[in-house]
């Protein structure tokens, strides 16, 4: 397997050394070593005996920790080897984007969005299936020598969310399962409240919560019940942890200095015991009912429902059935989604599954459901969601709605990154707002990160649509100077624009640049170059371009043959045109409508239509 098939990311180091020296003779199996500039895990070590004129040598067999390649090295046992600093960090998985990147939650509450999914098929399927099922997943990320890669996965079970807003601590949607205690994860500090002994089961949990009460600074309620493992606590309580807390816990260093809402995540479980509290409240049925029944179905609706993915959860299927059978006469989308949210308490994974299915089927309510999702807290929108909906608006030329989405994104505090700015360039270029596209492109440059081919390509397409081919070609050369090459479709668009204008010099430059970038021209691309020479009146060069295409082994299409015949007609080279047709017939070429119509019109002009009928007779039957 090649290195390119493995996805691992670069990680900047602020002056810290990526390796440290260690004597070869002290490196053991399961240790780490650098071989050929790659961080490796040692799987086998053998040491040779000391010779008369040399040192004992260590033979290392190791596996690259990122690519899995087997590497070997022989080093004198008394010499130093480079050993990488290898770290493993756990992050909670928040989201998986369509381009293969994951969004992870760090210990300090920030997000990490620069890692790709692993290439290991088993691990990849576990991550995707677990995420689609709505599980709370934690991924282990291995980092070494400036590279990172997801290497492991674990399910952390139920999650308790604590929201801290302006000094008020709000607990909601608590789910308690059998376990060993409460595990807190907040602002980089870890603390656990564990049971003291298994003998006093009832008192154990009360003691644990009493510690939690002292830490929180309020008289906490007993949240246990033997009869149920699901309960909710609906209240807001003053959080006294600003100034002083119990000194025996790691919580003592936590201070709330953020004026904005801040989320803490609490992972783990609480032991259930024989003593049940009186204040535990079962989850109540919501007042707004979501009617899962649907009216009489048509055959088309029944077919659409039968084609829903089998792995889709029941709550998602219930909503999809309502969407498939939705009629504006019987209600509106907002009320339908609000009732569904109130009834089923969906997670972000459910929203993503619904939107993905609506997009796959090109459902007319896709955008409307997407818009409503942003108003729901359970959707937890991130910047990639805004990128996607802006792309959808751009496809339908809904510029005003796209700008409204941008304003909403700004209000939520999301910064503009390269991906969202590229989407803006694409949107403004399609709507004919070149100045706004240029402004977004300049903002992209101000980010200080290298631009990729998509960013450059969007701006080049903007210049092409605006008719500024020189500016687009200049940007193309700027890309090539940085060893960044545009996609094939960008070269073809620029070549087509030059071809339609009859600018043969510009078309030839783009044609050459396209080949330098590693894009092999096909018959359509060659046809654009031939057309540029033909429109500019350079008939000889058009014929030469056609012959070069044939010499390179490319089979001409009907468009190319029609263009070169037009070049012969302009110079009245009838005999050469007939010779070309005979050669093409020997090669098995069949005249199409364009080239055949051109030949017939030419022969009519010179009055030899009947004489050459026998020449064309061999071409026509093969067109069937």
Q: Answer yes or no: is pLDDT of 503 > 80.
A: yes
At 4-31, the pLDDT tens digits run 444 434 444 444 578 999 998 899 988 9
pLDDT at 579 (0 to 100): 87
Strand, helix or coil for residue 612: coil
**Would you say 225 and 200 are in contact if contact means Cβ atoms under 8 Å apart?**
no
pLDDT at 396 (0 to 100): 85
The average pLDDT across 52-65 equals 85
CATH code linked to domain 19-84: 2.30.30.30
Of residues 436 and 51, which shows the higher confidence score? 436
The average pLDDT across 483-504 equals 92
Q: Answer yes or no: is pLDDT of 533 > 50.
A: yes
Domain with CATH 2.40.50.140 in the chain: 87-155
Of residues 155 and 84, which shows the higher confidence score? 84
**Would you say 468 and 462 are in contact if contact means Cβ atoms under 8 Å apart?**
no
Name beta bridge partners: 191: 184
The average pLDDT across 334-338 equals 89
DSSP code of residue 363: -
At 237-260, the pLDDT tens digits run 333 332 332 223 222 222 333 333
Confidence of residue 468 (pLDDT cuts 50, 70, 90): very high
At 283-303, the pLDDT tens digits run 333 344 565 555 678 888 888
DSSP code of residue 443: H
Q: How many CB atoms are located within 10 Å of the residue 208 CB? A: 20
Name beta bridge partners: 193: 182
At 566-576, the pLDDT tens digits run 999 888 888 88
Sheet containing strand 235-238, strands side by side = 189-193, 182-186, 262-268, 159-165, 168-172, 235-238
Of residues 230 and 463, which shows the higher confidence score? 463
DSSP code of residue 307: T
Of residues 222 and 432, which shows the higher confidence score? 432
Query: Considering only CA atoms, which of 160, 261, 272 is closest in space to residue 208?
Result: 272
Of residues 534 and 611, which shows the higher confidence score? 534
pLDDT at 605 (0 to 100): 79
Helix locations, 269-417, DSSP H = 299-306, 314-324, 333-344, 348-360, 366-373, 383-395, 399-411
Q: Domain 87-155 is in which class? A: mainly beta
Confidence of residue 279 (pLDDT cuts 50, 70, 90): very low
> In this predicted structure, which of 51-55, 84-88, 382-386, 400-404 has the lowest mean pLDDT?
51-55
Sheet containing strand 38-47, strands side by side = 32-35, 38-47, 57-64, 70-76
Strand, helix or coil for residue 496: helix
User: What SS3 string covers 376-414?
Assistant: CHHHCCCHHHHHHHHHHHHHCCCHHHHHHHHHHHHHCCC
pLDDT at 82 (0 to 100): 92
Domain with CATH 2.30.30.30 in the chain: 19-84
Q: What is the mean pLDDT of the chain?
A: 74
Name the percent of the chain lying above pLDDT 90: 25
Tell me how far apart the alpha carbons of residues 410 and 458 are, in angstroms, rounded to a whole number.
Answer: 23
DSSP code of residue 554: P
Strand, helix or coil for residue 272: coil
Name the percent of the chain lying above pLDDT 70: 71
Q: Which residues of 443-454 are buried (b: 16+ CB within 10 A; e: fewer)?
A: ebeeeeeebeeb
Tell me how far apart the alpha carbons of residues 319 and 130 are, in angstroms, rounded to a whole number.
Answer: 21
**Triad 480, 481, 487: Cα angle to 5°:** 15
Which residues are CB-neighbours of 409 under 8 A, at least 6 positions away? Answer: 383, 386, 420
The average pLDDT across 27-48 equals 92
pLDDT at 208 (0 to 100): 36
> In this predicted structure, which of 34-38, 187-191, 329-333, 620-624 has the lowest mean pLDDT?
187-191
Confidence of residue 595 (pLDDT cuts 50, 70, 90): confident
Q: Answer yes or no: is pLDDT of 276 > 80.
A: no
Tell me how far apart the alpha carbons of residues 486 and 383 are, in angstroms, rounded to a whole number.
Answer: 25
Going by their DSSP bridges, the two strands 182-186 and 168-172 should be labelled as unpaired
The average pLDDT across 213-226 equals 32
At 403-428, the pLDDT tens digits run 888 888 888 888 888 888 888 888 88
- Tokens for 190? 């870890």
Distance of CA 247 to the CA centre of its chain: 44
**DSSP labels for 198-267?**
SSSHHHHHHHHHHHHHHHHTS-PPP---SS-SB----EEEE--TTT---TTSGGGG-----SS-EEEEEE
- Tokens for 208? 């644990």
Confidence of residue 132 (pLDDT cuts 50, 70, 90): confident
- Tokens for 364? 């007319």
**Strand (E) or helix (H) holding 541:** helix 539-551
pLDDT at 108 (0 to 100): 64
Question: Which range has highest mean pLDDT (112-116, 564-568, 601-605)?
Answer: 564-568
Name beta bridge partners: 472: none
Q: How many CB atoms are located within 10 Å of the residue 287 CB? A: 7
Tell me how far apart the alpha carbons of residues 141 and 151 are, in angstroms, rounded to a whole number.
Answer: 6
The average pLDDT across 207-220 equals 35
Tell me how far apart the alpha carbons of residues 563 and 535 are, in angstroms, rounded to a whole number.
Answer: 10
Which residues are CB-neighbours of 103 under 8 A, at least 6 positions away? Answer: 93, 94, 95, 96, 97, 111, 112, 113, 382, 384
Residue reference for tokens 């807390």: 245
The average pLDDT across 131-143 equals 83
Question: Which range has highest mean pLDDT (33-42, 149-158, 197-206, 548-557)?
Answer: 33-42
**Would you say 65 and 40 are in contact if contact means Cβ atoms under 8 Å apart?**
yes
Tell me how far apart the alpha carbons of residues 10 and 149 are, in angstroms, rounded to a whole number.
Answer: 9
């Amino acid at each position: 397997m090649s290195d390119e098939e493995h996805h691992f990311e670069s990680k900047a180091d602020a002056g810290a050394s990526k390796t440290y020296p260690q004597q070869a003779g002290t490196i053991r199996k399961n240790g780490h070593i650098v071989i050929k500039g790659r961080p490796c895990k040692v799987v086998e070590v053998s040491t040779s005996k000391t010779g008369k004129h040399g040192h004992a040598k260590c033979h290392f067999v190791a596996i690259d920790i990122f690519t899995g390649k087997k590497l070997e090295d022989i080093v004198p046992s008394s010499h130093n080897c480079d050993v990488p600093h290898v770290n493993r960090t756990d992050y909670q998985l928040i989201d998986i984007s369509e381009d293969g990147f994951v969004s992870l939650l760090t210990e300090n509450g920030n997000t990490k969005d620069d890692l790709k999914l692993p290439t290991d098929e088993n691990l990849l399927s576990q991550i995707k299936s677990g995420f689609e099922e709505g599980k709370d997943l934690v991924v282990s990320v291995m980092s070494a020598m400036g590279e990172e890669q997801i290497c492991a996965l674990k399910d952390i079970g139920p999650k308790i969310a604590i929201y801290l807003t302006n000094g008020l601590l709000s607990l909601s949607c608590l789910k308690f399962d059998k376990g060993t205690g409460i595990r807190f994860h907040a602002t980089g500090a870890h603390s656990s409240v564990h049971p003291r002994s298994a003998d006093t089961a009832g008192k154990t949990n009360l003691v644990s919560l009493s510690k939690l009460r002292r830490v929180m600074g309020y008289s906490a309620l007993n949240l246990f019940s033997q009869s149920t493992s699901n309960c909710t606590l609906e209240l807001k309580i003053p959080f006294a942890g600003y100034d002083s807390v119990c000194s025996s816990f790691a919580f003592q260093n936590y201070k709330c200095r953020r004026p904005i809402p801040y989320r803490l995540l609490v992972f783990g479980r609480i032991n259930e015991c024989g003593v049940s509290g009186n204040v535990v409240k079962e989850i109540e049925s919501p007042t707004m009912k979501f009617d899962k029944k649907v009216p009489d179905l048509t055959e088309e609706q029944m077919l659409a429902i039968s084609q829903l993915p089998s792995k889709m959860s029941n709550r998602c299927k219930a909503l999809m059935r309502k969407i498939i059978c939705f009629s504006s006469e019987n209600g509106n989308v907002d009320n339908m989604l609000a009732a569904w949210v109130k009834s089923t308490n969906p997670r972000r994974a459910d929203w993503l599954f619904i939107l993905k299915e609506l997009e796959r089927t090109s459902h007319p309510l896709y955008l409307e459901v997407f818009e409503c999702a942003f108003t729901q807290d359970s959707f937890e929108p991130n910047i990639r969601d805004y990128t996607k909906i802006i792309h959808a608006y751009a496809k339908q030329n809904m510029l005003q709605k796209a700008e409204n989405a941008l304003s909403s994104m700004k209000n939520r505090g999301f910064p503009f990154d390269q991906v969202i700015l590229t989407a803006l360039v694409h949107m403004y270029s399609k709507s004919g707002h070149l100045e706004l596209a240029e402004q977004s492109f300049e903002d992209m440059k101000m980010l200080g990160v290298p631009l990729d081919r998509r960013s450059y390509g969007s701006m080049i397409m903007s210049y092409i649509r605006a008719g500024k081919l020189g500016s687009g070609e200049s940007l193309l050369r700027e890309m090539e100077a940085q060893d960044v090459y545009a996609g094939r479709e960008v070269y073809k668009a620029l070549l087509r624009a030059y071809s339609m204008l009859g600018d043969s010099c510009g078309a030839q430059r783009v044609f050459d640049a396209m080949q330098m970038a590693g894009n092999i021209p096909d018959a359509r691309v060659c046809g654009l170059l031939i057309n540029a020479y033909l429109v500019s009146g350079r008939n000889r060069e058009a014929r030469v371009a056609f012959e070069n295409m044939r010499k390179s082994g490319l089979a001409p299409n009907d468009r190319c043959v029609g263009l070169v015949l037009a070049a012969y007609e302009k110079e009245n080279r009838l005999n050469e045109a007939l010779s070309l047709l005979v050669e093409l017939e020997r090669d098995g070429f069949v005249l199409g409508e364009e080239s055949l119509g051109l030949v017939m019109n030419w022969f009519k002009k010179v009055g030899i239509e009947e004489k050459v009928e026998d020449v064309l007779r061999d071409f026509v039957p093969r067109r069937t």
